[in-house]
Amino acid sequence: MLPLSYAIRNLLRSKSRLAQTVGGSALVVLLVMAAVAINQGMSRVLSASGSPNNVILLGTGSEESVQRSEVSENTTGIASASIPGIQEILGVRAVSGEIHFMNYISSDDGSRAQALIRGVSPAILHVHPEVRLTQGRFPAAGEVMVGRLAWRNLGLKQDRLKIGTSITLNDQTLRVVGRFAAPGTVMESEIWAAIGDIRVVAQRETISCVVIRLEDPEDFSEVDLFAKQRLDLELSALRESDYYGRLSEFFSPLRAMIWITVSLIALGAVFGGIHTLYAAFASRVREMGTLQAIGFGRTTLLLSLLQESTLACLTGTLLASTLAMLLLDGLTVPFSIGTFSIEINSTVALIGILSGLLLGIIGVIPPAIRCLKPALPTALRS
């Protein structure tokens, strides 16, 4: 086996080639890590948003979108009284009637943004125990409370949604009186207002859905049976986790696009890397011939060339990982129904390292074979 120092010194033969290889692999690995982290973040926020204990009663035919759903307002009371297995908190059954409404809001400084507004009652805190009021209080009429990341999702400055500021929704001014957190869920990007206000603003007599929290997820069949028996209410029961699971599928083309883009860039970088190595190795055919003449086998030499390439690509991976930690980790990314945060965790890091290794291997094999292929007398003459 040739010493590792041979591979390292060969890497340093041409600083520009080294920079090109390290930079190219760093770019690809960074993109792969970003794609994995974005996909993970989006999936994580959507799966965390749906609790297996929660069931959503939606209007029949609107199972794909809670915003389009229309449910009679008295469904909340009927469901609460009729369905067994509903969780009770301090004697109150966990049933929340809600209106989900997407519309433009204006902040104090006049900036406009499309926001997901949820008309709620305090019962929402029973069905979503992960929600924590971090500042202020629950909104009454003419007031709203905002999710911790709503400003990010709306593209506003953070102070535009601080307590005491106002937002305007369809000419109705609503004062921000509270902030809440619901870590890792889409709710953190929402604005919650009193359900009565949203009914007026949205000009609707119905609500969007009724969310029910069950003691045991197995009791879903009871809710499903209720929806099927009460044909007059025209309801469809969906586990909340299934609802967000479907939403996740809805975003799969977007995720596919991310992967296609990354793959194309990676392919370009791999071809660029192969081209660079072809040029670099072409000048070393004789050297490889000399080493073979001394007695080193082609496999040994191929391994040494692999060492060089993987070393360069792993250096790029290290650079990419550092950049990912510095630039991407903790970054919040808004998408249509919420905001997710990018997390550079061990899985992302591992995929990054594997990508770097793969780049090093794929990139070196064609030029290495070309470099080692000539018959020995030809290689020595080159």
Partner 1 sequence: MMIQCQQVSKSYYKGSTVVTPLQALDLEVPKGEFLALMGPSGSGKTTLLNLLSGIDSPTSGSLIIAGANISTLKQRELTAWRAKHVGYIFQLYHLVPVLTAFENVELPLLLSGLSKAERRERVHTALKLVGLADRHDHTPAELSGGQEQRVAIARAIVADPPLLVADEPTGDLDRDSATRILELLRELGTEQSKTIVMVTHDARAAAAADRTLHLEKGQLLENLQTT
Q: Cα 306 to chain center, whole Å?
A: 34
Does 304 sit near partner 1 (CB under 8 A)?
Answer: no
C-alpha count within 13 angstroms, C-beta hemisphere, residue 104: 7
Among 108, 343, 380, 382, binds partner 1 (CB under 8 A): 380
Name the H helices within the chain.
4-11, 15-49, 75-82, 124-127, 150-154, 195-202, 220-229, 240-250, 252-282, 285-294, 298-323, 346-372, 376-381
Minimum CB distance to partner 1, residue 11 (Å): 9
122 binds partner 1, rule: CB under 8 A: no
Interaction between residue 306 and partner 1 (CB under 8 A) = no
Position 303 contacts partner 1 (CB under 8 A) = no
Select from 70, 286, 306, 357 the one that contacts partner 1 (CB under 8 A).
Answer: 286
**Cα–Cα dist 330/345, whole Å:** 11
Positions in 339-368 near partner 1 (CB under 8 A): none
Judge contact between 103 and 135, C-beta under 8 A. Answer: no
Figure out which of the listed residues 168, 206, 292, 382 binds partner 1, where binding follows CB under 8 A. Answer: 292
- Give the integer Cα–Cα distance in Å for 118 and 229: 28
Q: Which amino acid type is present at position 12?
A: L
Please identify which residue in 290, 332, 336, 382 interacts with partner 1, judged by CB under 8 A: 290
Nearer to partner 1, 255 or 298 (CB): 298
Q: What number of other Cβ atoms are within 10 A of residue 312's Cβ? A: 30
Q: Which residue has 């709306």 as its token pair?
A: 154
Query: Smallest distance, Å, CB 24 to partner 1?
Result: 22
Contact in structure between 288 and 301 (CB atoms under 8 Å): yes
**DSSP secondary structure code for residue 162 in this structure:** S
Amino acid of residue 328: L
Helix, strand or coil, per DSSP, at residue 55: strand
376 lines the binding site for partner 1 (CB under 8 A): yes
DSSP 11-25: HTT-HHHHHHHHHHH
Residue 209: both structure tokens together = 């859905």
Residue 141 within binding range of partner 1, rule CB under 8 A: no
Nearer to partner 1, 48 or 285 (CB): 285
H or E element in which residue 107 lies: strand 95-107
Contact letters (x/-) for partner 1, 9-28, by CB under 8 A? xx-xx---------------
Minimum CB distance to partner 1, residue 293 (Å): 5
Residue 1 or residue 90: which is nearer to partner 1 going by CB? 1
Which CB, 251 or 296, lies closer to partner 1?
Answer: 296
Is 81 a binder of partner 1 (CB under 8 A)? no
Q: Residue 382 Cβ, how far from partner 1 at the closest point, in Å?
A: 11
Q: In the complex with partner 1, which residue's Cβ is closer, 119 or 289?
A: 289
Our CB check for partner 1 shows the closer of 299 and 346 to be 299
Residue 377 CB, shortest distance to partner 1, in Å, is 5
Question: Which positions lie near partner 1, rule CB under 8 A?
Answer: 1-3, 5-6, 9-10, 12-13, 286-287, 289-297, 375-377, 380
